[in-house]
Amino acid sequence: MNGSCIIIGGGIGGLFTGAFLSKNGVKVTVLEKNSIIGGGLQCFTRKGKTFETGMHVAGGFGPNGSLNKICRYLGISHKLKLQEVPSECSDEIYYRSSNELFKIASGRQQFTERLIQYFPHEAKGITAYVDELFRLTEEVPLFSLHEDSPLLENKHSDNFLISADSLIDKFVQDKKLREILAYLNPLYGGVKGHTPAYIHAILNVLYINGATRFIGGGQQLANALCEIITDNGGVVKSNSPVVKIEIEDKAVQYVQIETGEKYIADNYVSAIHPLAMVNIASNGAFRKSFVHRLNVIPNSTSAFSVYIDLKPNSFEYIDHTCYYMENFGLMWEQERQANQSIPNSFMYMTPPDENQGQYANRLLIHCLMSFEMVKKWENTASGKRGTSYEEWKFLMANYLIDKLSTLYPHLRDCISDVYSSSPLTIRDFYNTKNGAIFGFRKDCENLLISRLPVYTKISNLFLTGQNVILHGICGVPLTAINTSEAILGKNAIINAIQRQNENC
């Protein structure tokens, strides 16, 4: 064995890091506070139906995608049940005020040609914009699983660090087109004037190259990663919240879980929110300046979700993601709108089942929401938030259902049961400040403060997860590679993936 490692947090970042290390001979112990592992991959079951809490659609599982190569390297590709989203319509955007519908295609050429069909007068700008998106991803070698160096260590192009909206405005003039090119904002919390262009480029290229859905939920990926760890002699323990990280002489001595058990290893990885990590570390272990920095970095917004159990053979299955916008002009306003009591935009989808037929079994509605909307209940616990909270959730869920019913008048007749989650749910289950769904908000105005390295000032403590380099189902595994290589050696995993890919 190549030493031992304890990972705090069994979400996507912790599990991918644990899988990489286990595959390379490290004895891994993952300690997860919840009863279910997986973080954003975890699912819940009600009346025999499984509902995903996050990671409903993923990019990177295509033949040349980074997630596909990572899963092949880990040996779990055959365990995943995936459904490709049709390329002719991978997403659609509906504007109620003007009754306009835009269908987004995938595949670089088809994506470009479809946009030109809608906006022929912007053909030159659209082509140049798409070319620039792909070129910007080349400035992040890790995105293509090539040997990487820390961001900003190399010289970047002028477009790399400007804001995403500024990048779009450089290439197109049509206001409607500018908005449509930002339609993926809800997937990464895009903020006008702040979200870096390279973040926008990475997420868009992932989906332009083709999207994939999990058949039956993303929990299968979490379970597959868990099996790698346990098959290689490791342990994944749920219901084991770490309550103390004992640090002396700039090194972790042990971690302690709620039951009092202590765990000792050569190295430790924190896969939880950095502020949550600091709160359980020994007093004075981290400099006040570092703690202050963590507190002032803006967090991304949170979300409200409605999970609908559909009656059999009542609501037709939709094989792509749909975006509902009340009016034009809201695409860059969604984070600000998240503070308002009435959402004016949301996304919805029907997750696929095995042998998916004409009709869907479940329907999900998801909208961005500020933590301020639930702040009055912030000191309550799950299941004990009181009648006023339940009434508020009921009203919010029904408001979104009413909005969607304007497109599907028969929707109410299709509903068997309705469940919902709020920013408080996300805060408590994901252990993130104010229920931030995308971790720390990356800011082109001050990128260094919002982007943490995988290393800490504690010699044997490393960071992973969506708060570090990139978020999302593709970004977090890439970050996990960086974290694992901090322990195994620079480019140890990248080179192994490349060798395997060359032999395929």
For 186-215, how does the pLDDT look when each residue is reduced to its tens digit (9 = 90+)? 888 788 988 999 999 999 999 999 999 999
Whole-number Å distance between alpha carbons of 180 and 192: 14
**CA angle centred on 393, ends 384 and 34, rounded to 5°:** 50
Residues 323 and 371 placed together within one structural domain of the fold: yes
- Closest residue by Cα to residue 214 from 309, 89, 85, 310: 85
Q: Has residue 420 been placed in a domain? A: yes
Q: Which amino acid is at 116?
A: I
Burial letters for 458-475: b for 16+ Cβ neighbours within 10 Å, e otherwise? Answer: bebbbbbbbbbbbbbbbb
CATH number at residue 282: 3.50.50.60
Q: Has residue 95 been placed in a domain? A: no
Residues 313 and 224 placed together within one structural domain of the fold: no
Whole-number Å distance between alpha carbons of 504 and 500: 6
Show which of 209, 228, 259 is a domain's final residue. Answer: 209
Show which of 209, 244, 265 is a domain's final residue. Answer: 209
Given a cut of 90, whether residue 267 has pLDDT beyond it is: yes
DSSP category for residue 72: H
Residues 306 and 292 placed together within one structural domain of the fold: no
Q: Cβ of 383: how many Cβ atoms within 10 Å? A: 5
Q: Has residue 119 been placed in a domain? A: yes
Average pLDDT, the chain: 91
Show which of 419, 437, 455 is a domain's final residue. Answer: 437
Query: In terms of residue numbers, what domain contains 146?
Result: 86-90+104-209
Residues 327 and 444 placed together within one structural domain of the fold: no
DSSP category for residue 138: T
Whole-number Å distance between alpha carbons of 203 and 478: 13
Total structural domains within the chain: 3
pLDDT, position 443 = 86
> Residue range 174-190: average pLDDT?
91
Tens digits of per-residue pLDDT, 313-346? 999 999 999 999 998 888 887 666 656 667 889 9
Q: Has residue 381 been placed in a domain? A: yes
Q: What is the CA radius of gyration of the chain?
A: 22
E-assigned strands of 264-301?
A: 267-270
Q: Has residue 97 been placed in a domain? A: no
pLDDT, position 340 = 65
Lowest mean pLDDT among 75-84, 141-150, 386-395: 141-150
Measured over the CA atoms of residue 139, residue 141, residue 147 and residue 150, the dihedral's sign is: positive
Whole-number Å distance between alpha carbons of 347 and 484: 34
Q: Has residue 99 been placed in a domain? A: no
Residues 433 and 316 placed together within one structural domain of the fold: yes
Residues 115 and 197 placed together within one structural domain of the fold: yes
Residues 202 and 256 placed together within one structural domain of the fold: no
pLDDT, position 504 = 64
User: Which position has the higher pLDDT, 450 or 262?
Assistant: 262
Tens digits of per-residue pLDDT, 55-107? 788 888 988 889 999 999 999 999 999 999 999 999 999 999 999 999 999 99
Whole-number Å distance between alpha carbons of 182 and 195: 11
> Residue range 263-283: average pLDDT?
95
DSSP sequence for 163-224: BHHHHHHHH---HHHHHHTTTTGGGTT--TTTSBHHHHHHHHHHHHT-EEEETT-THHHHHH
Whole-number Å distance between alpha carbons of 291 and 456: 12
- Asked if residue 83 lies in contact with residue 212, where contact means CB atoms within 8 angstroms, the answer is yes
Residues 433 and 459 placed together within one structural domain of the fold: no
Q: Cβ of 449: how many Cβ atoms within 10 Å? A: 14
pLDDT, position 456 = 93
Whole-number Å distance between alpha carbons of 190 and 164: 8
Residues 313 and 419 placed together within one structural domain of the fold: yes
Residues 26 and 172 placed together within one structural domain of the fold: no
Q: Has residue 96 been placed in a domain? A: no
Residues 424 and 443 placed together within one structural domain of the fold: no
Residues of the chain above pLDDT 70, percent:
97
pLDDT, position 466 = 87
Residues 334 and 418 placed together within one structural domain of the fold: yes
Task: At 93, give phi and psi (nearest 5°).
Answer: -120, 125
pLDDT, position 383 = 87
